[in-house]
Amino acid sequence: MTALSDIEPQAMPVASVGRRSLPFTYAQQNGVLLDESSHEAVIVHQGRPGMAVLTELRRCLGGPFRLQGVSDS
């Protein structure tokens, strides 16, 4: 399994930067939420998102984002 720190962000292809959105069903199933209240994309998450979820978020958002964990309760 590849560690997150072993992946170079510039090596991962991304979608074109533009209007960012995250499908509700995907967000609900994976315990993630996109917060765009600031100039940067912040992914609020429950638990620890898997590598596939992080990769899909990067592809969907078209660029980097910051992770912010919240409690499950």
Q: List the domains of the chain with CATH numbers.
A: 23-73 (3.30.300.160)
> pLDDT per residue over 16-60, tens digit each?
455 567 889 999 999 999 998 888 899 999 999 999 999 999 999
Across the chain, how many H-helices and E-strands are there? 2, 3
pLDDT at residue 3 is higher than 80: no
Q: What is the value of pTM for the model shown?
A: 0.67
For 24, the enclosing helix (H) or strand (E) is helix 24-30
**Cα–Cα distance for residue pair 9/33, rounded to 1 Å:** 21
First to last CA, the chain: 29
